[in-house]
A and B are shown apart, each in its own frame.
Chain A
């Protein structure tokens, strides 16, 4: 089964967000990390959300302020994610 890594890069949530494939993953980059301030908009019971730690820290945000379960990752893990998924889509 093909899997997709959905990379969000802005505070605009893609319209298909509510119907992601069960094996898909979500990664928040750049301004998309601000979505963590509005957790009800992006919380998905079925998916873990990955967040690039540099983008979070650069914007003065702290993982302790984040109300939903996320995994902070570095650039190396980012590369891993693009490899383990069949496709990568940047929104």
Chain B
């Protein structure tokens, strides 16, 4: 079993890479791989509650983040630097997310076998 870390850096609807990343993460988790997600920079905007992508004819994929437990993905992190950049607080975000600082991010990257940035 390998440990995968996905680092998501983009706002949710700026490209389809975010959608493809979460589908890949869920597929890996289904095959019993250990998957962690880390949201930094504009990526934190994916975690805002009450999104409605149908209004802009885009697939509403961010609701998958609320169901990560079902796929045994329990390690979901967000950068406090990015939160501060947008003036967001934990209660603005989807549930079950751990806020970490930059040195914890460095540790997290060292702990994973494969790191994928989107």
Whether, in the assembled complex, B29 has its beta carbon less than 8 Å from a beta carbon of chain A, the answer is no
What number of A-B contacts does a CB cutoff of 8 Å give? 48
**Interface size grouping (class) on chain A:** 10 to 19
The distance in angstroms between the C-alpha atoms of A37 and B12, with both chains bound, is: 15
The distance in angstroms between the C-alpha atoms of A62 and B92, with both chains bound, is: 11
B-chain residues with CB within 8 Å of residue A54 when the two chains form the complex: 55-56
Whether, in the assembled complex, B58 has its beta carbon less than 8 Å from a beta carbon of chain A, the answer is yes
Q: Which of B11, B49, B56, B62 contacts A34 (CB 8 A)?
A: B11
With contact pairs A11-B42, A38-B85 given, residues A59 and B14 touching in the complex (Cβ less than 8 Å): no
- The A27-56 residues at the B interface (CB cut-off 8 A) are 30-31, 34, 37-38, 54-55
Q: Check if A31 sits within 8 Å of B48, measured CB to CB.
A: no
Q: How far is the CB of B34 from chain A (nearest CB, A)?
A: 29
**Which residue of chain A lies nearest to B12 when distances are taken between CB atoms in the complex?**
A59
Whether, in the assembled complex, B24 has its beta carbon less than 8 Å from a beta carbon of chain A, the answer is no
Whether, in the assembled complex, B53 has its beta carbon less than 8 Å from a beta carbon of chain A, the answer is yes
Q: Check if A58 sits within 8 Å of B56, measured CB to CB.
A: yes
Q: Check if A57 sits within 8 Å of B55, measured CB to CB.
A: yes
Q: How far is the CB of A79 from chain B (nearest CB, A)?
A: 17
Give the interface of B toward A (CB within 8 A). Answer: 11-14, 42, 45, 48-56, 58, 62, 85-88
7 more A-B residue pairs beyond the given contacts A38-B85, A54-B56, A59-B11, with a C-beta to C-beta distance below 8 A: A31-B14, A34-B45, A58-B13, A59-B12, A59-B45, A60-B49, A60-B52
